[in-house]
Structure 1
């Protein structure tokens, strides 16, 4: 029998994340993990003044926490509202003329960007809760093919996991804060 480790990775102090369930149905597990990742991202941004959130702290990368919150708001809208629900709403922080404006244009109010992101997350949760099951489909805009809510949830977990790794590096460079 393997001994239980006594020392674990340090926890993120500023976070009041709800832990995802260890057991349960597929929808409960997927939505719990996605909400955990959302809360992880918000925790990585907590406690910094607005100007530090806009800092591009890992050159030569142009990433910032402010840019990532804008990007994640747009991703929430794209997958849940536009592709899954078929809502006719404008894209956030994107145009064909300026496709990188989510990361590049940081002149806007950081608190407003977080309010938009939180609202998009809440709308995504309602859309997910209202879906009859994970097999329900929307239409993938790039191909016209169906895409299931299950696939969208998995895509979103991967998106947040990737950007939470970026947020870890940025936060450590900004003020030395670390933890999972």
Structure 2
């Protein structure tokens, strides 16, 4: 399993620290998916859960888009993978293209990095979320939390698939 992550430095200003930890967690998801076949990426955890590594990649692309493009920047972009099923990014993976999912996720993370670099940490998102204003700083912390939680899921999924473990 190739691991190109750069460990976050122990010293740095707030923005660098938040960005480094977010990038660490983004790349952790990539590491957990590295070297697996399409079938393995689609493999579910245990019933009744529909969780899979491919579903996690699709979900994180959706989350990146919502928080950075829609909430922070007020871009009028459609939601990803949404159908009548509110959990389509997880549930509709049987015929989903891993190549498309990873390309979309990478594009969304790159777009998020660019938007984030242009906005002060204290900036308030241009759209409310759940009826609340939130700062750019809050969004970054939330994204670190979102990735950390789902990377725990990814670690368990990967171990179940082929026994590979690691941070």
State TM-score, norm by structure 1. Answer: 0.88
CA RMSD of aligned residues (A): 1.1
Counterpart in 2 of 1:126? 114
Structure 1 residue runs of 5 or longer lacking an equivalent are: 1-12
The answer to whether the 8 A contact 1:73-1:120 is kept is yes
Q: For residues 120-145 of structure 1, give each alpha carbon's deviation from its aligned partner in whole angstroms, at most 9, with x where no partner exists.
A: 000000011011x20011122321x3
Does 2:7 correspond to 1:38? no
Does 2:55 correspond to 1:67? yes
- Structure with larger Rg: 1
CA distance in 1, matches of 2:16, 2:45: 36
Counterpart in 2 of 1:56? 44
CA distance in 1, matches of 2:148, 2:20: 14
Match of 2:86 among 82, 99, 105: 99
The answer to whether the 8 A contact 1:45-1:171 is kept is yes
Counterpart in 1 of 2:9? 21
CA distance in 1, matches of 2:72, 2:59: 18
Q: For residues 29-78 of structure 1, give each alpha carbon's deviation from its aligned partner in whole angstroms, at most 9, with x where no partner exists.
A: 00100000000010000000111100003333210000000000000000
Q: Equivalent residues in 2 for 1:129-148 (5 A)? A: 129-131=117-119, 133-138=120-125, 139-143=127-131, 145-148=132-135
User: Alpha-carbon deviation of 1:147?
Assistant: 1.1
SS in 1 for 2:28: helix
State TM-score, norm by structure 2. Answer: 0.95
CA distance in 2, matches of 1:128, 1:114: 21
Report the count of equivalent residues: 165
Counterpart in 2 of 1:178? 165
